[in-house]
Amino acid sequence: MEYNFKAIEKKWQDHWYNNGRFKALDFSDKPKYYALVEFPYPSGQGMHVGHIRAYSSLEIVSRKRRMEGYNVLFPIGFDAFGLPTENYAIQTGTHPRIVTDRNIEVFTNQLKQGGYSFDFDRVIDTTDEDYYKWTQWIFVQLFKKGLAYRDKTYINFCPSCKVVLSNEESQGGKCDRCDTGVVQKEKDVWFLKITDYAERLLTGLKDLDTLPRIRTEQENWIGKSTGAHVDFKVKDTDESMMVFTTRPDTLFGSTFMVIAPEHEIIERQKDKINNLDEIYKYKENAKLKTEFERVELAKDKTGVLIDGLVAINPVNDKEIPIFVADYVMIGYGTGAIMAVPGHDTRDYEFATKYNLDIIEVISGGDISKEAYTDSYNGILVNSGLLNGLKVPEAKEKIIQFLEEKKIGKEAVNYKMKDWAFNRQRYWGEPIPIIHCPKCGMVHVPEEDLPVVLPKVERFEPSDEGESPLSLIDEFINTTCPKCGGPAKRETDTMPQWAGSSWYFLRYIDPKNKEKLADFNKLKYWMNVDWYNGGMEHVTRHVIYSRFWHLFLYDIGVVPTEEPYKKRTAQGLILGPDGDKMSKSKGNIVNPLEIIEEYGADTLRLYTLFIGDYEQSTPWSDNGVKGSKRFLDKLARLEDKLSDEPNEKYLTILHKTIKAVSEDIESVKFNTAIAKLMTLVNELTKVKQIYTKDFEMVLKIIYPFAPHICEELWQRIGHAEDMVNAPWPLHDKSKLVESSIEMVVSINGKVRDRVKLSLDTPKEEVIALAMSAKKIKELVSGKDIKKVIVVPNKLVNIVI
RNA sequence: GCGGGUGUGGCGGAACUGGCAGACGCGCUAGACUUAGGAUCUAGUUCUUAGGAGUGCAGGUUCAAUUCCUGUCACCCGCACCA
């Protein structure tokens, strides 16, 4: 057959999409399978080869599942709110709505050119009013339960994007999008109380089938640590300061306290502080440093003694000095620590620098040289009631003591902070809240949702960083839903994470006007059986969406607690030069060009064959040709078809069916394809291929390269397409050959091989091995110490 | 610093519970068919002085180690003054 991929691919795409061949049916009798890929941001550049790789995995799984008799939901949509579109709008003056619609159209066409078996009847767009109505609805529910709240805090602010960033978006002290240094700014912001769900987000991970790396990244992000809260009285005041410590056992060794520069006690007790100017100056300096500098430059610890305030160590009533230092973070724990220089490296460094007492309370180290931080083998000393105990016992005892005396208690602390949930931007979901001078903050009634984004002329935030919505009077001015008096709308919008935190639920019932999704449909389809996406979304997106899902479960909207059963993450496709693909490096490979030159089947195949799916691998232009040649060879097999059965290749055929079936399930697409190539190579060598066998070959290649397989399938006489053709099962009896080759080695080195029949008894095997010519020569005159036989594999002779 | 991971030909990468290292693909070499080939097909392709050496490096366990153990080096990813 002449393999004219252009005509073939177009023909079959039209056939599939025009006939709704990939429609998922609600409540079908078949077992359901929900395969989810992270939906794309429809950027102006169109698809990236990374998209192809990300979708091809579950595309294969979905096609295979349909053949296995499942009712498959394999949806796609668009996560279309966000900065790039908005920035483009600012530059060109084109409304984001128009840009988004255009980009979505381009993306949809490209996805169809890839031949993906998405159910295009369920496409969602997060910027669609019918969609973000429900994003707002969820926000309202969170607000009603007190899980969405407004607070004044220091926020990460990007001076270039003029936008508030979450901790996740300002990792390393740089803006996620433009790399500008992030500055701290005090602002009124919306928070979602994700910390209330910290423990459940952690325990829920147990049931998620995923890589250790993905699991630990989420665990680290949640950052649970256990210890105690302890109150330190401040002398001559009625104040006490609470600290969090994981080492309450070292309490007797605490010789000073350190608080973050932002700690509130400074303001409350400023009358008592003699060196207030110095402290303010220190605080100003700390604020000027970006988070990044604070980490990088402050290896050398700095701090200022608070002159005028003295703390009292609650276990021995010793008076200890209090310092302000920026190595203590206001956002972690209580923003204050008890310093135990003898047994904490940072405190040790600080104490040495400022000449503070260092007391040994755990023996085993040498605290004249460095802090002794061993928490398993040490024995407590100089610690009153704890003396002689091992660290774990001491922890228990001191907590008991603290609780009896009401000066502290056992505590758990999480690194995770509440989720800063607002942006001063136009292209996002308006936060459905009304500020009433009488009633305070009131949510927009559910029946009035959505709060529609108004048309505006200008999309830039104001210079003070306020949302462009704040410039539109008709939008802002409204009436209070509670008292009917004049009130003002919230002008901030939600971050891009909002729409993607629940989108997988909407696929299940994308057109529902009454609810975000029908409960019975959710019951039928949930959970997501397999979710694939980028490694970069593993901490933020996965945690956020699990949080929303847990919340929706709590209020009875969804039937399951956790949304995902299995999560995988594809590795990046790097540029041919081995660097990450980027515009500036000019090493971007355009998938449309590859489709043009080699076809979609080849492209899909190659993005999976390129290497281990979960590993990053460089692109190779030549490598693509190999995948194309494979398909050419497959097409040429048509000439060998015959009505007569042929035994010659049956073993490899059935071995391949088995191996490919297994490899797909264990995310080993590269080896699955390698085995398919081997099979086709073998079939190329034989004279005749029985048509019935060839059908099986087509079926196992179909999920990878569906267009060419459909074409060949039709050419050998099938009227029905392959979408629901039954997946072949391997025949066990065909897996093993009756005669096998066994390796004969001497001292572990392969010297010869012998042919014999399967399951030959041990004695016979040895006899045969010994009589092999080469072996005879090498063994003659030597002492045979031992002979090991591994059935059907090898014989090892030890001399 | 802590956590996770990876080191195998010229390149991308295979190798199930220890059992023929280098599957498959690229590239390269030679040949065939060709006016031509950057198309296709066939054969070869870890290195190397017949023997041997070889999976980052140094040891160990074993009849047998890419695989298990100890130490060590390098790189990648994530978190990071986390109390």
DSSP for A557-590?
SSS-S-SBSBEEEEPPEEPTTSSPP-TTTT-PPP
Closest CA to A71 of A27, A37, A15: A27
Q: What number is the average pLDDT over the span A69-80?
A: 97
pLDDT band of A2, cuts 50, 70, 90 = low
Q: What is the pLDDT of residue A212?
A: 81
Nucleotides of chain B within 7 Å of a protein C-beta?
Answer: 3-5, 11-15, 19-21, 23-27, 39-42, 52-53, 63-65, 77-83
Tokens of A314: 């609650």
HSE at residue A654, side-chain half, CA atoms within 13 A, is: 13
Round to a whole number and report the distance in Å from the CA of A605 to the C1' of B26.
15
Q: Which nucleotide shows the minimum CA-to-C1' distance to residue A215?
A: B4
Residue A288 CA to B20 C1' — how many Å? 65
Using pLDDT thresholds of 50, 70 and 90, give the confidence band for residue A41: very high
So what's the pLDDT on residue A152?
Answer: 78
Q: How far is the CA of A633 from the C1' of B40 (A)?
A: 11
Q: What is the pLDDT of residues A364-374, one digit of tens each?
A: 888 888 888 87
A92 touches strand B (CB under 7 A): no
The band of A738, judged by pLDDT with boundaries at 50, 70 and 90, is: confident
Q: Which of A217-226, A267-276, A459-468 is predicted with the least confidence, judged by mean pLDDT?
A: A459-468
- The residue extents of the domains of chain A are 32-122+499-570, 136-208+419-489, 224-414, 739-798
Q: Residue A420 pLDDT more than 70?
A: yes
A719: buried, middle or exposed (CB in 10 Å: 19+, 13-18, 0-12)? exposed
Q: Which CATH architecture has domain A32-122+499-570?
A: 3-Layer(aba) Sandwich (3.40)
Name the band, by pLDDT with cuts 50, 70 and 90, for residue A176: low
Whether the CB of A611 is less than 7 Å away from nucleic strand B comes out as: yes
Distance of C1' in B44 from CA in A698, Å: 31
Q: Which residue is nearest to nucleotide B42 (CA to C1')?
A: A685
β-bridge pairing A641-642 and A689-690: parallel
Q: Where are the alpha helices (DSSP H) in A160-247?
A: 198-203, 212-222
What whole-number percentage of chain A has pLDDT above 70?
A: 95
State the pLDDT at residue A300. Answer: 74
Name every residue whose Cβ is closer than 8 Å to that of residue A290 and which is 6 or more positions away in sequence.
A173, A181, A182, A183, A184
Statement: A224-414 belongs to CATH 3.90.740.10:
yes
Average pLDDT of chain A is 89
pLDDT at A313 over 80: yes
Range picked from A58-67, A264-273, A765-774 for highest mean pLDDT: A58-67
Say yes or no to pLDDT of A715 above 80: yes
Nearest to A363 by CA among A382, A344, A350: A382
pLDDT category of residue A577 using cuts at 50, 70 and 90: confident
Name the residue type at position A127: T
Higher pLDDT residue, A42 or A749? A42
- pLDDT over 70 at A170, yes or no: no
A629 touches strand B (CB under 7 A): yes
**Is A779 in a helix, a strand, or coil?**
helix
Assign 3-state DSSP to chain A and report helix, strand, coil percentages, each to 5: 40, 20, 40
- Kindly state the tokens that stand for A769: 């091995």
Query: What confidence score (pLDDT) does residue A293 get?
Result: 56
Task: Evaluate if residue A179 carries a pLDDT over 80.
Answer: no
Residue of A673, A594, A603 lying closest to A634 (CA atoms): A673
User: Which residues 467-506 on A are within 7 A of strand B at the CB atom?
Assistant: none
Find the mean pLDDT for residues A649-655. Answer: 92
Q: Which of A42-51, A337-346, A368-377, A717-726 has the lowest mean pLDDT?
A: A368-377
Which nucleotide is nearest, taking the CA of residue A674 and each C1'? B24
- Range 357-416, chain A: CB under 7 Å to any strand B atom: 413, 415
**Residues of A 682-721 whose CB lies less than 7 Å from any atom of strand B:** 684-685
- Could you tell me if A408 and A445 are in contact, meaning their C-beta atoms sit under 8 angstroms apart? no
Distance A549 CA to B36 C1' (A): 65
Residues 591-610 in A having a C-beta less than 7 A from any atom of strand B are 609-610
pLDDT band at A173 (very low <50, low <70, confident <90, very high): low
List the single range of A461-465, A487-491, A533-537 with lowest mean pLDDT: A461-465
Which nt is closest to the CA of A747, judged by C1'? B63
- Å: A784 CA to B65 C1': 23
pLDDT the model gives residue A594: 93
Q: What's the Å distance between residue A296 CA and nucleotide B81 C1'? A: 9
A417: three-class secondary structure by DSSP: coil
A260 touches strand B (CB under 7 A): yes
A377 CA, B79 C1': Å apart: 27
Quick one: pLDDT at residue A736?
76
pLDDT higher than threshold 60 for residue A291? no
Contact present, A430 and A495 (Cβ < 8 Å)? no
Select the more confidently predicted residue: A183 or A470.
A470
Q: Which of A65-74, A218-227, A576-585, A586-595 has the lowest average pLDDT?
A: A576-585
| CB atoms near residue A663 (< 10 Å) | 18
Distance measured from the CA of protein residue A260 to the C1' of nucleotide B1, in angstroms: 21
Band of the pLDDT at A363, cuts 50, 70, 90?
confident
Q: How far is the CA of A104 from the C1' of B39 (A)?
A: 39
Out of A3-7, A339-343, A770-774, A778-782, the most confident range is: A339-343
Regarding an ipTM greater than 0.90, the answer is yes
Residue A177 pLDDT more than 70? no
Q: Which nucleotide is nearest to A609 (CA to C1')?
A: B25
Q: Which of residues 168-197 of A touch strand B (CB under 7 A)?
A: 168, 171-172
Contacts of A318 (CB under 8 A, 6+ apart): A255, A312
User: Is the preceding peptide bond at A791 cis, omega within 30 degrees of 0?
Assistant: no
Whether the pLDDT of residue A758 is over 70: the answer is yes
Predicted pLDDT of residue A289: 63
In terms of CATH architecture, what is A739-798?
Answer: Roll (3.10)
Residue A284: half-sphere exposure toward Cβ, Cα within 13 Å? 6
- Across A274-278, A283-287, A390-394, least confident range: A283-287
Q: Report the share of chain A in percent with pLDDT over 90.
A: 63
Identify whether the C-beta of residue A565 lies closer than 8 Å to the C-beta of residue A530. Answer: yes
The winner for highest mean pLDDT among A166-175, A260-269, A298-307 is A260-269
Say which nucleotide is closest to residue A212, CA to C1' distance.
B4
pLDDT surpasses 70 at A203: yes
How far, in Å, is the CA of A38 from the C1' of nucleotide B73? 39
- In the predicted model, what is the mean pLDDT of residues A788-799? 84
What is residue A169's predicted lDDT score, i.e. its pLDDT? Answer: 63
